């Protein structure tokens, strides 16, 4: 039943679930931009991909939370879509039913910690703090080179770009990562 709900019936309950899923799917597509892995140097690993999906999902949630009603409800729907997807993916990877809940909880805690650090840095306009948080989380502090600075520039450009979009209607357009990297504040 859980997998059926996740794959086929996800948006039948809450009226915002479908929009949340659509916005989450757009964040996942943006997080898969090959430039992020080839040019920025994000590790093309399960952890690296989780970090970027979380980062782009965070940007969508951040924007929605700044919106009037139903922004907060849609932000929750995006969050729910992400963790429903994580649950389904873990099961598809063969993680046993008894372990899935524990693994999703660890992922939720990781997402929450990262989102808190990224929001604090963006709110303060502190590029250095954002770079440090990205180096620590995305590269796990090793072999990052210029990647964190470049990814921080992309994140700031995406955040500015999203600020001009309501997202309430379920439509979001991210900049291509290469264009975001070239954007100047």
Q: What is the pLDDT of residue 47?
A: 87
Residues 6+ apart with CB under 8 A from 76: 16, 20
| Phi, psi (rounded to 5 degrees) for 142 | -125, 135
Q: What is the pLDDT of residue 2?
A: 41
Q: What is the pLDDT of residue 104?
A: 63
Instruction: Catalogue the E-assigned strands of the chain.
Output: none
Tell me which residue range forms the domain holding 124. 2-182
Instruction: State the pTM of this model.
Output: 0.87
Q: Using 50 as the pLDDT threshold, list the residues of the chain that sit under it.
A: 1-11
**Structural domains in the chain (count):** 1
Q: What is the pLDDT of residue 98?
A: 65
Q: What is the pLDDT of residue 87?
A: 66
Q: Is 27 exposed, middle or buried (0-12, 13-18, 19+ CB in 10 A)?
A: buried
């Amino acid at each position: 039943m859980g997998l059926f709900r996740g794959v086929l019936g996800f948006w039948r309950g809450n009226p915002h679930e479908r929009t949340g899923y659509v916005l989450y799917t757009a964040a996942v597509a943006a997080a898969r931009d090959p430039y992020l892995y080839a040019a920025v140097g994000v590790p093309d690993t399960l952890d690296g991909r989780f970090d970027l999906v979380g980062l782009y999902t965070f940007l969508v949630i951040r924007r929605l939370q700044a919106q009037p009603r139903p922004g907060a409800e849609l932000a929750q729907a995006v969050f729910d879509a992400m963790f429903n997807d994580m649950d389904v993916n873990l099961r598809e990877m063969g993680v046993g039913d008894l372990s899935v809940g524990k693994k999703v909880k660890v992922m939720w805690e990781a997402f929450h910690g990262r989102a808190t650090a990224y929001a604090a840095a963006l709110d303060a306009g502190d590029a250095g703090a954002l770079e440090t948080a990205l180096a620590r989380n995305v590269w796990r502090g090793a072999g990052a080179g210029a990647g964190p600075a470049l990814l921080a520039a992309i994140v700031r450009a995406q955040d500015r770009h999203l600020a001009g979009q309501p997202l309430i209607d379920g439509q979001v357009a991210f900049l291509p990562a290469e264009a975001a990297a070239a954007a100047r504040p």
